[in-house]
Amino acid sequence: MGVIHSVAEFFKDGGAMMYPILLIGLVGLAIAIERMVTITRAQMHTKAMWAKVEPSLGEGDFEKARKIVGDDNNPLGRLLGAGLAMQGAVRRRDDVEKAMQEGIMEIVPRLEKRTHYLGTFANLATLVGLLGTVAGLIGAFGAVAAANPVEKANLLSASISEAMNCTAFGLGTAVPLLFMHAFLTARTQNLVESLETAAIKYLNVLSLRMSRASQASVQNIRAA
């Protein structure tokens, strides 16, 4: 109970600006949790999906790969689905690559969605904390001006201490938000890189199959 009471007193002494900072922190935490769950699920699904589809791609069985991918709405499923759909309609690697690049351009914004708010909220928490401190100091000096000269030093010291609570709370909220922003950005980048690697592997397999098919056609023509 002593810790809870101390926290409650700290929050109360910070003034009205403590409430906006608390709201910013709670919204930022909710976004961080949602993004963490989404990205973690996407990473797990990407690994599972690639483990299933890679053997079919290596064998050149694109029809089986299309069935495995199906209507999967996860990042790798959408990416490979776009490439496999184009591969079944055209014979040029460039067209398939363009289709997958378009898929990446659609997928990345979804993975990065809302993550940038964490950096913004961190800055807001810091600025609101400073604003609360400045407002508290203005009120403190105003109260000191009308106080008894004997009490001025003690009153000013207590008022400044209370005003600084707002800055401390703002910084204490901003630091975790910045850390979560950096962490989620790195996780998202790792996921995007794994998708790009999968796309390159698929395109390399496709190029190899096309090259072998072209060589076989040439040999058949010469044999005829």
Q: Where are the domains of the chain?
A: 16-207
Render 162-188 in DSSP notation, one character per residue.
HHHHHHHHHHHHHHHHHHHHHHHHHHH
> Quick one: average pLDDT of 111-138?
89
Q: What is the reported pLDDT for 145?
A: 67
Q: At 102, is the secondary structure helix, strand, or coil?
A: helix
Q: In the structure, what pLDDT confidence band is assigned to residue 99 with cuts at 50, 70 and 90?
A: confident
User: Which tens digits make up the pLDDT trace of 22-72?
Assistant: 999 999 999 999 999 999 998 898 888 888 888 887 777 778 888 888 777
What is the predicted pLDDT for the residue at 86?
76
Is the pLDDT higher at 164 or at 141? 164
Instruction: Show the DSSP H helices in 59-145 as ranges.
Output: 62-69, 75-87, 93-112, 116-145
- Confidence grade of residue 133 (pLDDT, cut at 50, 70, 90): confident
- What secondary structure, in 3-state letters, does 16-37 show? CCHHHHHHHHHHHHHHHHHHHH
Q: How far apart are CA 157 and CA 44, in angstroms?
A: 54
The arithmetic mean of pLDDT across residues 165-182, rounded, is: 93
Residues 74, 44 contacting (CB under 8 angstroms): no
Residue 169 has pLDDT above 60, yes or no: yes
Comparison of pLDDT for 224 and 112, the residue scoring more: 112
More confident residue, 75 or 220: 75
Task: Report the pLDDT averaged over residues 174-201.
Answer: 91
Rounded to whole angstroms, what are the CA distances from 95 to 56, 62, 104, 203?
A: 21, 16, 14, 11
Distance in Å from the first CA to the final CA of the chain? 92
CB 122 within 8 A of CB 28: yes
> What pLDDT was estimated at residue 221?
55
Q: Quick count: other Cβ atoms within 10 Å of Cβ 53?
A: 23
More confident call, 25 vs 102: 25
